Amino acid sequence: MTINVSDAGGRHRSPFRVLARRALALGGAGLVSVTGVVALSGSAHAAGSTLGAAAAGQGRYFGAAVAANHLGESGYATTLDTEFNAVTPENEMKWDAVEGTRNTFNFSNADQIVSHAQSKNMKVRGHTLVWHSQLPSWVSGLAAADLRTAMNNHITQVMTHYKGKIYAWDVVNEAFQDGSSGARRSSPFQDKLGNGFIEEAFTTARSVDPAAKLCYNDYNTDGVNAKSNAVYNMVKDFKARGVPIDCVGFQSHFNSNSPVPSDYQANLQRFADLGVDVQITELDIEGSGSAQATNYSNVVKACLAVTRCAGITVWGIPDKYSWRASGTPLLFDDNYGKKAAYTAALTALGGTSGGGTTDPGTGGGTDPGTGTKTCTATYTATQTWSGGFNGQVTIKAGSAAITGWSVKVTLGASQTTTGVWNGTTSWDSTGKVMTITPSYNGSLAAGASTSFGFTVQANGNTAAPAVSVCTAS
Ligand code: 9MR
């Protein structure tokens, strides 16, 4: 989420309250694939003993974000194929991945995921066509008229390549600001093309693949708040004026600073009432054990209680491959053992566990720590592709609790960054050194960790950026 710089801050502070009423009608519009993939369950397992089968029994899909470079790992592929009946390429369909150079398209990694999904009869969510992040610098450098041409061409080429194979596209991603303004986020598209870029993108998308559902997707819109109100008003306006839109994606990245909102179901319902499907598109919930399990259960129940909630996608399979692995936010542990959260999600879907290991979670003791405040910063390259890579820096508090941290990241020659998440960035005058401080994740118990990440456009230089010593406060 580009959650960039000011991301995922806790907007929803009230304790989660289940508002769920179980839906009586199970098959809302949009639950039947329009892509020719008829069966919702991709596996031969007994009805209800896997997430996908249990969701199918409720007229829903249950998907996972998938990375092409993990498909060769047997535990990964087996878990995907057994448990899920939908996929979203986690990074492989983003602009920088498919059109790093203008009008030169590279679909190889995304194709691997789509072929895999098709061979297992899984739905594919296309993610994403127009987004300010993971956007090559050639796009941001264009003047308005050329940018419009490039945007429409990108949509046209990518959707044509996958025509008939995509259940739903995230046509526009994360176009609104966080906070109380309800304003559009500044981006090359917004700044140069104005508010109309969103409807233009949807209109172009409809003309290319009329069978694909067209979604607007965002984060921090999961409860009723200024940002979701702004998206709501846009969708209402689109429906009133006949601008094509079929669905709204609620990313649902939750943690203690941004918990599952108490009005989650009510928020999904009010969008559904506008005449669009709602989809939970990037679900992950940091935590462990029974607290995490309860949150997962509540999210599943909220979806099932909204007839037009078409399905749920979790943002990864095992914790170790999560974009925020240190928060262990997913349903499977690093060895593909089923966590308590898995069992809770399956049970909420009306399924019954067919066995497997259950990881109760550690609960994580906290040491109040009284000594000097220290932290360490560890860099890992989490993803690489032809034009660049994603870096992640894990910040770990020493033997005392801290309330703030700061790390400098120095980019190599020719490198630029297109997005930073889970951190606030300030740049030095050379434009090469960014100082990252917390966006919401400054307070760490002794020994606890958090991470921030960034995307680097390599421009020919794939060397790891230099990460300075962590400074704690
Ligand atoms: O999970 C994705 C991670 O691997 C990438 O490094 C990151 C780069 O922007 O994007 C992550 O996925 C984001 C998604 O595309 C949009 N919503 C927020 C997700 C988490 O950051």
What pLDDT score does 47 carry? 52
d(CA 302, CA 92): 30
How far apart are the CA of 133 and the centre of ligand 1, in A?
9
Q: Is 99 a catalytic residue?
A: no
- 65 CA closest ligand 1 atom index: 1
C-alpha count within 13 angstroms, C-beta hemisphere, residue 120: 26
3-class secondary structure per residue, 378-439? EEEEEEEECCEEEEEEEEEECCCCECCEEEEEECCCCCEEEEEECCEEEECCCCCEEEEECC
Whose Cα sits closest to atom 11 in ligand 1? 1
How far apart are the CA of 173 and the centre of ligand 1, in A?
11
d(CA 379, CA 353): 38
d(CA 118, CA 112): 10
Whose Cα sits closest to atom 21 in ligand 1? 1
What pLDDT score does 459 carry? 87
How far apart are the CA of 33 and the centre of ligand 1, in A?
26
What lies within 8 Å, CB to CB, of 401 at 6+ separation is 366, 368, 369, 373, 443, 444, 445, 446
Q: Is 73 a catalytic residue?
A: no
How far apart are the CA of 90 and the centre of ligand 1, in A?
7
pLDDT tens column, 214-241: 999 999 999 999 999 999 999 999 999 9
Whose Cα sits closest to atom 19 in ligand 1? 1
d(CA 136, CA 128): 14
Phi, psi of 64 (to 5 degrees): -140, 145
Whose Cα sits closest to atom 18 in ligand 1? 1
Whose Cα sits closest to atom 12 in ligand 1? 1
Q: Tens digit of pLDDT per residue, the chain (473 long)?
A: 333 322 333 333 333 232 333 232 323 333 333 333 333 433 334 458 999 999 999 999 999 999 999 999 999 999 999 999 999 999 999 999 999 999 999 999 999 999 999 999 999 999 999 999 999 999 999 999 999 999 999 999 999 999 999 999 999 999 999 999 999 999 999 999 999 999 999 999 999 999 999 999 999 999 999 999 999 999 999 999 999 999 999 999 999 999 999 999 999 999 999 999 999 999 999 999 999 999 999 999 999 999 999 999 999 999 999 999 999 999 999 999 999 999 999 999 999 875 444 444 443 333 333 578 887 888 888 887 888 888 899 998 888 888 899 999 989 888 888 888 888 888 887 888 899 999 878 888 888 888 989 888 888 888 888 888 778 88
List the beta strands (DSSP E) in 177-307: 213-218, 247-250, 253-254, 277-285
Instruction: Name all residues whose Cβ lies below 6 A of ligand 1.
Output: 1-3, 90-91, 133-134, 219, 251, 282, 323, 383, 390, 419, 421, 453, 455
Ligand 1: which of 282, 322, 324, 439 to mutate, most ligand atoms within 8 Å of CB?
A: 282
Ligand 1: which of 258, 383, 421, 455 to mutate, most ligand atoms within 8 Å of CB?
A: 421
Whose Cα sits closest to atom 16 in ligand 1? 1
What pLDDT score does 29 carry? 32
What pLDDT score does 377 carry? 87
What pLDDT score does 450 carry? 87
The number of residues making up the chain comes to 473
What pLDDT score does 384 carry? 79
Ligand 1: which of 185, 283, 319, 323 to mutate, most ligand atoms within 8 Å of CB?
A: 323
